[in-house]
Structure 1
């Protein structure tokens, strides 16, 4: 009589006798395993590429094989923003001054013999080389303001003055004058359309290669009784100018 263990083995053998392993079972198992591994690798690469595109677009181009076309680059990366453009014009630098002029009666190659009462050198001057100027004001005037300005033109800058005078003469604006035997021109410059009175000015030829431009501020000119009085004072200042060229 068979034992219990022998009976169990017999029944298991009979139950599995009709079952046969498919001939390609081993190959399919191997291929299935390889396929799963391949899918895992592809998913991992895709994830890493996505991360590269988000964080550093340029890296993705060198981690997935061939060099991308221009269209592919535009798909994966955004062009960098152009640098900001500062369209603010640069501020002009202040010209050099003529230095300490003392009482301001002599500057550059010019001497000032007469100043209207109460006016003194403002402490300000500017030197552009062949053109330079000095301003005069009342003591205690606001810094930067002026009452009288004397500008001197020399060398090639003389041509500019002569062209301006010619333009005024052609427009019948102002009048020619003679001051101590020297030719000059009286005119009101910079008359504004908004009602500004303009700048009463005397141009004076102080030497063969030098001109002076003497101008009153509109505020200062208003202190005089009228245009005739202003012109008389301008001519007096011009009479006192002496060139040291």
Structure 2
């Protein structure tokens, strides 16, 4: 019996000895554990990505629609918001004028000495710099018709007047005159417009940098006895003009 028990103990000892851990068992166990942790993390990341892919469209839509970036605001604004249409009609504006001229006898760089009887300043004028003008009628109403209009041409616009007079000369549509020692040109402009007989006009050279254009309205011209009477009145107005340049 003792021999049997000794044999049993020996056999158990031999079996237990074979169960001892190898020298690198701890390292292998740690490495295995780390590997399992990495695999677990990778699996978790993959699962998160998969979940994001599923819900990303709705998240992206909510993000762009609710809180767009500056660049997205510009892009989506151009697509989603049509440009505003300004259908407000433009407000008409009056041309620049010479202001209050009092009796209208002096404006710009000229003084008016003579006007036909009954005429007064119409309270109308225009001022475009080197070209400016005013007019005279019976009732002093700036909405009424003019009887006489005086337009002054200075500096850069002088050449335009001289070219215009040269064109009239070529058409033989007027005549050379001398008024108060100054050269001028008498012509009827705009003949046939609106069924009228045209606008009797005296161009008068006031100086090297200034011309006066004195006009009678066609309706006013009919109040005189004829073309010679109209020309005489135009010359009187021209004689009474004084340059203040």
TM category (shorter chain) comes to 0.5 to 0.7
1:188-234 deviations in Å (ceiling 9; x for gaps): 11123552111100000011110000000111111001111101100
**Structure richer in helix, relative to its length:** 2
Residue of structure 2 equivalent to 1:119: 119
Residue of structure 2 equivalent to 1:95: 96
C-alpha distance in 1, partners of 2:242/2:100?
Answer: 20
Deviation (angstroms), 1:127: 1.2
Aligned length: 187
TM-score, length basis structure 1 = 0.62
Residue of structure 2 equivalent to 1:243: 243
Check if 1:201 corresponds to 2:196.
Answer: no
C-alpha distance in 2, partners of 1:205/1:140?
Answer: 28
Q: Judging changes above 3 Å, is the alpha-carbon distance between structure 1 residues 141 and 161 closer, same or farther for their aligned structure 2 residues?
A: same
SS at match of 1:156: helix
C-alpha distance in 1, partners of 2:226/2:81?
Answer: 67
Deviation (angstroms), 1:96: 2.9
Structure of higher CA gyration radius:
2
C-alpha distance in 1, partners of 2:171/2:89?
Answer: 38
Q: Which blocks of at least 5 consecutive residues in structure 2 are unaligned?
A: 1-64, 66-79
Deviation (angstroms), 1:85: 7.9
Residue of structure 1 equivalent to 2:183: 183
C-alpha distance in 1, partners of 2:113/2:142?
Answer: 25
**Alpha-carbon RMSD:** 3.7
SS at match of 1:159: helix
CA contact (8 A) 2:147 2:220 kept: yes
Residue of structure 2 equivalent to 1:230: 230
CA contact (8 A) 2:165 2:185 kept: yes
Alignment of 1:106-145 (within 5 A): 106-139=106-139, 143-145=143-145
Deviation (angstroms), 1:159: 1.1
Deviates more, 1:134-143 or 1:222-231: 134-143
Q: Judging changes above 3 Å, is the alpha-carbon distance between structure 1 residues 142 and 82 closer, same or farther for their aligned structure 2 residues?
A: closer
Alignment of 1:5-16 (within 5 A): none
TM-score, length basis structure 2 = 0.62
